[in-house]
Amino acid sequence: MTPTRRTLLAAALGAAALLTGLVPPSSAATAPASEPTGVTTLSTGWTIPWGTAWLPDGSAALVTERDTFTVYKVTPSGTRTRVGTVPNSQTTGGEGGLMGVAVDPGWATTRHVYFMHTSSEGNRIARMTYDGTTLTGYTTIVRGIRKARYHNGGRLAFGPDGYLYASTGDAQVTSLAQDRNSLNGKILRMTKDGRPAPGNPFGTLVYSLGHRNPQGLAFDERGRLWEAELGQNSRDELNLIKPGANYGWPACEGTCGVAGMTDPKKTWGVAEASPSGIAVADGAVYMASLRGQRLWRIPLDAGTEEVGTATAYYVGTYGRLRTVTTVPGAKHLWLSTTNADGNGGQPAGSDRILEVTIG
């Protein structure tokens, strides 16, 4: 058979397959993008599991419970062990308490773990020592983050640059988000002892401003920082964070096109999202949604700063979804519920950690 005839026959067979439904249309041009392929329950008996951070060796993750101030070690198989509590913590009668956790990338040497939590005077970032069995020691590295019943932010993440990033809410005082002298309504970037990281745009801890209640932070394969935040009554946001950029709150909720303010890369109505944690896996941002009770997948464009069409999974199946985390060395995600948080209507102990396979 000549090359021309072979090419024509292949095209005809491909068209026939599409028409008969044997091949999905997306495979005609490129291989289908990875997406969630299954979900199982990994661990039960939780009460508002808020933050998750893996040890660098992948042997276990540390998981915080917001209102009990307790930290657990969870193995890849789901075995849970209590390792301690974070002192000086308190709730706010709303969304404050023990929130984010981040493990020092050099943990094998330092044994340091970082927490963001509410205390008597405000929200703090603190460092403790975890020897693989027990949490000990306590050092506050950042104070002065105003607290409120709601809008405390709370996420921590180490960047590929080795510095610690933190998200803070506006503490229900909207003007703080635009105040460069305030630590509220910001993304902060710091050294491991809480000092402003070299290269910060204003010479302070502030890395970006104009945020309402950011609860999602994750870095992609290109080292870019993505952030998700809860809107007020209109639009929730997914932002690409750049140093010194102003993301608009309270002048803007969602896209507004105001000079000097940076528009989000994607928005949602608050009823279909109200996002908390995010993770990046296989070229996409995965976003856990509280009020929306679903997991969003937002594909990233490898060559631009744009994002593709968002797809929702597990809508209403598991209730309020708080944190999504990649599993080291595996095409899996951990996804936690917080249905016992006062808004989900479930009792203490009803939350769980799910494992999602992608492929």
Catalytic amino acids? 151
Task: Please name the residue that has the structure tokens 């464009």.
Answer: 301
Q: How far apart are CA 194 and CA 96, in angstroms?
A: 21
Burial of 110 (0-12, 13-18, 19+ CB in 10 A): middle
Q: How far apart are CA 10 and CA 227, in angstroms?
A: 45
Find out whether 297 and 286 touch, Cβ atoms under 8 Å: yes
Type and span of the H or E element at 109: helix 107-110
Find out whether 350 and 318 touch, Cβ atoms under 8 Å: no
A 10 A CB-CB count for 330 gives 13
C-beta contacts of 139-145 below 8 A and 24+ residues apart: 140/88, 140/194, 141/114, 141/190, 141/192, 141/193, 141/194, 142/166, 142/183, 142/188, 142/190, 142/194, 142/205, 144/183, 145/183, 145/184
Cis preceding linkage at 250, omega within 30: yes
Taking the CA atoms of 143, 144, 150 and 155 in sequence, report the sign of the dihedral they define: negative
Find out whether 112 and 53 touch, Cβ atoms under 8 Å: no
Find out whether 65 and 46 touch, Cβ atoms under 8 Å: yes
